[in-house]
Amino acid sequence: MGMTITEKILAKASGKSKVVPGETIWLSVDVLMTHDVCGPPTIDIWKREFGSSAKIWDKDKLVIFPDHYIFTANSHAIANVAKLREFASEYDLPNYYGPGTDRYKGVCHMALAEEGYNVPGTVLFGTDSHTCTSGAFGMFSTGVGNSDAAFILGTGKIWEKVPESMLFWFDGEIPPYLTAKDMILQIIGDITTDGATYRAMEFAGPGVMSLPMSERMTLTNMAIEAGGMNGIIEADELTEAYVKARTSKPYEIFRSDADAVYQSRYTYDLSKMEPMVAKPHSPDNKDTVRNVQGTRLTKCYIGSCTGGKLEDFIFAARILFGQQVQVPTFIVPASTWVDQQLDVETVNGVTLRDIFKKAGCQIGESSCAACLGGPSDTFGRAQDEEVIISTTNRNFPGRMGSKKSAVYLASALTVAASAVKGVITDPRDVM
Amino acid sequence: MEKVIQGKAFVLGDKIDTDQIIPAEHLVYSLSHPEEKKKYGHYAFSGVPLPESGLPMGHIPFIKGENHLSDYSIIIGGGNFGCGSSREHAPFALQVAGVKAVIAESYARIFYRNCVDGGFLIPYEGYEKLNDKIKTGDELEIDLAANSVKNLTTGQEYLLKPLGSVVSIIEAGDLFEYARKTGMLQG
């Protein structure tokens, strides 16, 4: 019996020739990533448990991207970043990307890709549920809490239960009115927020492999929204080119065997799919944009690790070119690199930044920003009974700030089209 | 590990995500500072919309006034309890508020791991839906040896799913104690 790509990577990382779903294994971790919300408590637990002789198992494998609460006057948030800075200085950490310096990168999941930490065939753990994003590079990646991260920090090891795999196969090529966000919202709606709990979500087929890396990352990013342990896409020439341009680390490409066993298989035809939304208050509350079009909005938001990548802004700029937004519209680049590209990338000869400014959008600095609400002075945060359409990944009650607000999740195309009309709008109506 | 956990039930619905357990704006506080960490208890379940807080009637705050300790120490949840973010602040907040155990239909993976590996509380799964049978304020008694919960208010008793392979970590206290016990860590 064959193995899936996830099983093969976990077998390698646990020093076994074969693993089977349900088996508990101990993994050797290739990269541990943390940030300003979970880094400080992780360090505290590590010091408490390993004592004065606490040693970081491998400094080269620890990566710290402060990204959550960066542009805030909240004194506790500032103290957390200061704690990370002191820790990095005390232990002379090579992979600390401090805010306020030219090393600051923005949202960790985007930065992991840009800085060459996503390497096919490896195992990456992070203190953030969206760590599953890195699976777009043919690797195993998943989120853990502070105690697990502290254990890894001291030992380089962690236990995991080998997941069953689910296969999501996409036929056809993606039409211009659809994005990876529509694909993943469709899946989450179909299988619900716990449809993949403790399972691997493997995305495959010509419709997936024709996507650029940042769109593949949108698929794997939201595996956790269906409860998935990890999302994964096999590496191909595009992946290799992306990785080689950023790191000289060795990589290994794994592929699922033809006779690999899947818990379930889903097949989608991209030519038959519709622009999708997740209605308030759950990512699985799916509907077509058509069915909710005309819903009045108070705010539009394009940002986050799942919806603030360069492709998302190109999608938005195609619609916002020469238009005026009818409701306050917030643009938050996922990374400082994406932010720089707003001045480089053009649509109809105009830079993305100019298109957004002329359309009346507000552009914020790279960070997690209002995707998860954050301190009260966070850029774009939901206030009172707002109705928001957003390219972010969660819309549980209060996720973007106010408990009274209602959030629709959608693609950058749908959000931009809705910004132009002031009501939820199908992108096909303005393209 | 305690053999019996007794306490009042606080009942919630399905898909109680980590933002409802501890809203993200509060994640700035220290988890190790003895005074500051009490804020996590104070804000526990403050993200749950009031009509769904303390079922079946709702409108029952989990924490009264300025307290950080709750009157309720056993949580009865529905499906996919703890979904959403990886924040260990969630089970930590419940522990600070005095919660000893959660009984839900199912859990999100990271929340479940955090409960066990951090030694914060015991995450039990029921064989049946219990959040429509137990009421907020009912006095419960969990028997850990028998894997059962008795509703002392109504006399009803329900079997719970055994804790499975993680029971050795729960019995040890947390992942670090387990690793010391099994020789993986020294000291």
Distance from CA of A131 to the nearest CA of B (A): 9
Same domain, A208 and A142: yes
Distance, in Å, from the CA atom of A217 to the CA atom of A181, rounded to the nearest integer, reads: 10
**Residue contacts between A and B (CB atoms, under 8 Å):** 137
CATH of B4-181, one of 3.20.19.10, 1.10.3720.10, 3.20.20.70, 3.40.50.300: 3.20.19.10
User: Which chain A residues contact residue B30 at CB under 8 A?
Assistant: 40-41, 44, 76, 79
Distance, in Å, from the CA atom of A111 to the CA atom of A125, rounded to the nearest integer, reads: 15
Closest residue to B28, CB basis, from A74, A372, A398 = A74
Q: Is B69 on the interface with A (CB under 8 A)?
A: no
CB contact under 8 A, A129 and B80: no
Degrees to nearest 5, angle at CA A304 with A301 and A307: 70
Rg for chain A (alpha carbons), in Å?
Answer: 21
Q: What pLDDT was estimated at residue B186?
A: 85
Same domain, A327 and A245: no
Distance from CA of A404 to the nearest CA of B (A): 8
Neighbours of A365 (CB within 10 A): 15
Same domain, A298 and A223: no
CB contact under 8 A, B89 and A397: no
Residues of chain B with pLDDT under 50: none
Q: What pLDDT was estimated at residue A1?
A: 85
Q: What pLDDT was estimated at residue A31?
A: 98
CB contact under 8 A, B89 and A127: no
Q: Is B165 on the interface with A (CB under 8 A)?
A: yes
Closest residue to A41, CB basis, from B23, B31, B119 = B31
Same domain, A140 and A227: yes
Distance, in Å, from the CA atom of B27 to the CA atom of B87, rounded to the nearest integer, reads: 9
Q: What pLDDT was estimated at residue A311?
A: 98
Same domain, A133 and A46: yes
Name the domain boundary from A231, A248, A268: A268
Name the domain boundary from A217, A241, A268: A268
- Here the ipTM equals 0.97
Q: What pLDDT was estimated at residue B106?
A: 97
Same domain, A78 and A48: yes
Mean pLDDT per 10-residue section of chain A, whose length is 431 residues: 96 98 97 98 97 93 98 97 98 98 98 98 98 98 98 98 98 97 98 97 98 98 98 98 98 98 98 98 98 98 98 98 98 98 98 98 98 95 97 96 96 98 98 93
Q: Is residue A82 within a helix (H) or strand (E), and if so which, with residue range? A: helix A75-90
Q: Is B87 on the interface with A (CB under 8 A)?
A: yes
Same domain, A312 and A422: yes
Same domain, A162 and A51: yes
User: Which chain B residues contact residue A146 at CB under 8 A?
Assistant: 31, 88, 114, 118
Helices (H), B13-164: 18-21, 38-42, 89-96, 109-117
Closest residue to A145, CB basis, from B79, B83, B110 = B110
Closest residue to B15, CB basis, from A144, A193, A372 = A193
* Partners of residue A159 on adjacent β-strands: A26
Q: What pLDDT was estimated at residue A237?
A: 98
Same domain, A110 and A187: yes
CB contact under 8 A, A145 and B86: yes
CB contact under 8 A, A193 and B83: yes
Q: What pLDDT was estimated at residue A114?
A: 98
Closest residue to B19, CB basis, from A154, A161, A398 = A398
Given a contact cutoff of 8 angstroms between Cβ atoms, the answer to whether A304 and A334 are in contact is: yes
Q: What is the CATH number of the domain that holds A391?
A: 3.30.499.10
3-state secondary structure of A268: strand
Q: What pLDDT was estimated at residue A115?
A: 98
Name the domain boundary from A202, A236, A268: A268
User: Which chain B residues contact residue A193 at CB under 8 A?
Assistant: 15, 80, 83
Same domain, A230 and A310: no
Return the DSSP state at A1: -
Same domain, A306 and A415: yes
Q: What is the number of domains present in chain A?
A: 2
Q: Is A73 on the interface with B (CB under 8 A)?
A: no
Q: What pLDDT was estimated at residue A169?
A: 98
User: Which chain A residues contact residue B43 at CB under 8 A?
Assistant: none
Q: Is B177 on the interface with A (CB under 8 A)?
A: no
For B105, the closest chain A residue by CA position comes to A194
Q: Which domain holds residue A309?
A: 277-429
For B37, the closest chain A residue by CA position comes to A41
For A49, the closest chain B residue by CA position comes to B176
Of the candidates A429, A407, A423, A387, which has an alpha carbon nearest to the alpha carbon of residue A277? A407
Domain-by-domain residue ranges, chain B?
4-181
Same domain, A232 and A103: yes
Return the DSSP state at A163: P
CB contact under 8 A, A227 and B32: no
User: Which chain A residues contact residue B13 at CB under 8 A?
Assistant: none
